Structure 1
Amino acid sequence: MASAQVTGSTVDRVGAAGPAERRGRARDWAEIQERMLVPLYLDVYRRLEVGAATSLLGVGCRSGLSLLLAEGRGAQVAGVEWDEELRELAAARGLQVAPGGSITRSAHPVPRAAHSLVTVFEQSPTPALVAWSAQRTLPGGLLVVADRGPAERCGSTAVLEVAHRHAPADVGDAPAPGGLESLLSAAGLRPSASGRVACPFAYPGLDSAVRGLLATGLFDGAEQRAGAALVAKELEEALHPFLQPDGSVRMVDEFRWAAGVRPEGASCG
């Protein structure tokens, strides 16, 4: 599970959940859930040799851990995030993260016009979000998109059934083979690299696991339709197979990513 509703982008996530549903979720993301995706971030940065020569823009960067990791490798970093509470947490980490605005507009929300690397670590990014992000990639630069892997390679598949039951339109399947590359090609980019990485989701207990998973935004639609109490109860039940003898919770998801190059002199989107 990544950081947005499976069928949409950060824009959809923020629009789907009102203030009451999102209250406290930003901090739960930053304190519990965000670290689960560190293997994905590090694999991308290692494979693409992110370093001092990299200017990186994180689209949908949430509270900014992915930016901090790139900054630790010497990169110049900036972010775009639609959720105000997440932006505040990123700012508290000393990061420059701007509001996202509308993905239908071409105006760039951060001072630098384009970047050598743009990342969209959103689960199932929409074609519109990918095209918007491609416009912020320098000619010869790279855009990275990511998604959860096949259902049989993800422990969270059983947990996501809670969202499927109550809001089936909000949760789709993992992309078919080549799906991420097709998104990049449709945005005018040339697919150039890809990878897959296991991300262990480990929590000290059931309460922490439920809070972390709810912070992903994947269950917002289910909460709106069935109520927060019922969704939390069903999440606890779905997590019982992943309980360890010491009371902790552990499951492993596979994530896939693909990178595309913006051709020199090409107009993307």
Structure 2
Amino acid sequence: MPTTSPDDPWSSVADDWGRYWGTFARPAWEPMLRTAAIGLGTRVLDVGCGTGELLEHLQELGARPTGVDPAARMVELARARAIGSDVRLGDFEQLPFDDAAFDSLLAVNAFQFAADEERALAEAGRVLVPGGTLGLAGWAERGRNDLDAINVALAAADDEEPPDDGPLRVEGGLAGVLLGAGWEVLDDGVVPVPWTARHDTDLVRGILFGEDASTIADLAPVVVAAAAPFRRSDGTYRLLNAFRWAVARRPG
């Protein structure tokens, strides 16, 4: 998580986020879109749309995507990428849209940031039509992610323990929170999600985006050493990770 302005921590790092992580979750899109039956003409809200890569993909499918994100720079970049899509500033817990405005809502690597999960799900239900679908996706447990080796090394460098897996990251976590809120879960699963870096510089910038120059200089050797097992003969890096996803139907 970036360590910049507490009011809008993501805007100052939005460009680097899009460059290194914008399409990272793409493998999780396909099973969600298939299960939610998203296609030509589907009105889709992408919550936490980031720099707009999923919005652009939905446009290519012929859907009618709309985006919302709490970071002003993310909104700016998403509008530039998904030209013609309505992209607004807003939070999951207070979506700036009318009741029953969408057929489907997607939140990829976003639901875990909601301060109030119950309210976020209630808002999702409000903006969906009866029978509308909600798709959630996010990181799987640490043991499934090669990136955890770097996170462990960085925590050790700061004399800290790496964070524990949250309840949404474990098997059944996303489906469980949806079932508990009265949603009808249609399907859920886990998909491999690789992250690649072209060289040491991209590796360090991608991992340490949002840190100041002195911190990056101090921690770059830690990152490179921890990523050594994932360095390929051509100098690129490939770290295999995993995302969990779940799709549910709006409660009646």
User: What range is the shorter-chain TM-score in?
Assistant: 0.7 to 0.9
Residue 199 of structure 1 and its aligned partner are, at CA, apart by: 1.3
CA RMSD, 1 decimal: 3.0
Match in the other structure for 2:106: 119
- Partner Cα distance (1:140, 1:159) in 2: 42
Q: Could you give the per-residue CA deviations for residues 167-210 of structure 1, whole angstroms, max 9, x where no partner exists?
A: 96994415332111121123331211112211111111121122
Match in the other structure for 2:137: 146
Superposed, 1:55-74 pairs within 5 Å as: 55-74=43-62
In the alignment, structure 1 residue 158 sits paired with structure 2 residue 149: yes
- Partner Cα distance (1:66, 1:176) in 2: 24
- Partner Cα distance (1:254, 1:41) in 2: 13
- Give the aligned residue type for 1:259: V
Instruction: Find 2:171's aligned residue among 173, 177, 181.
Output: 177
Instruction: Find 1:253's aligned residue among 217, 241, 247.
Output: 241
In the alignment, structure 1 residue 135 sits paired with structure 2 residue 126: yes
The answer to whether the 8 A contact 2:43-2:103 is kept is yes
- Partner Cα distance (1:23, 1:230) in 2: 24
Instruction: Find 1:205's aligned residue among 188, 199, 208.
Output: 199
Match in the other structure for 1:267: none
Unpaired runs of 5+ residues, structure 2, are none
- Partner Cα distance (1:187, 1:167) in 2: 38
Residues 135 and 147 (structure 1), Cα distance of their counterparts in 2 relative to 1, 3 Å cut: same
What TM-score do the two structures reach when normalised by structure 1?
0.77
The answer to whether the 8 A contact 2:11-2:74 is kept is no
- Partner Cα distance (1:168, 1:50) in 2: 43
Residues 96 and 123 (structure 1), Cα distance of their counterparts in 2 relative to 1, 3 Å cut: closer
Question: Identity over aligned residues, as a percent?
Answer: 27
- Partner Cα distance (1:232, 1:141) in 2: 45
The answer to whether the 8 A contact 1:45-1:70 is kept is no
- Partner Cα distance (1:168, 1:122) in 2: 24
In the alignment, structure 1 residue 241 sits paired with structure 2 residue 241: no
Instruction: Find 1:44's aligned residue among 24, 28, 32.
Output: 32
- Partner Cα distance (1:257, 1:80) in 2: 20
Q: Secondary structure at the match of 1:198?
A: strand
The answer to whether the 8 A contact 1:25-1:214 is kept is no
Unpaired runs of 5+ residues, structure 1, are 6-12, 265-269
The answer to which of 77-86 and 201-210 deviates more is: 201-210
The answer to whether the 8 A contact 2:45-2:67 is kept is yes
What TM-score do the two structures reach when normalised by structure 2?
0.82
Residue 96 of structure 1 and its aligned partner are, at CA, apart by: 2.0
Residue 145 of structure 1 and its aligned partner are, at CA, apart by: 1.2
Task: Point out which structure has higher relative CO (alpha carbons under 8 A, 6+ apart).
Answer: 1
- Partner Cα distance (2:49, 2:4) in 1: 18
Residue 48 of structure 1 and its aligned partner are, at CA, apart by: 2.9
In the alignment, structure 1 residue 99 sits paired with structure 2 residue 93: no
Q: Secondary structure at the match of 1:35?
A: coil
Q: Secondary structure at the match of 1:135?
A: helix
Residue 112 of structure 1 and its aligned partner are, at CA, apart by: 7.2
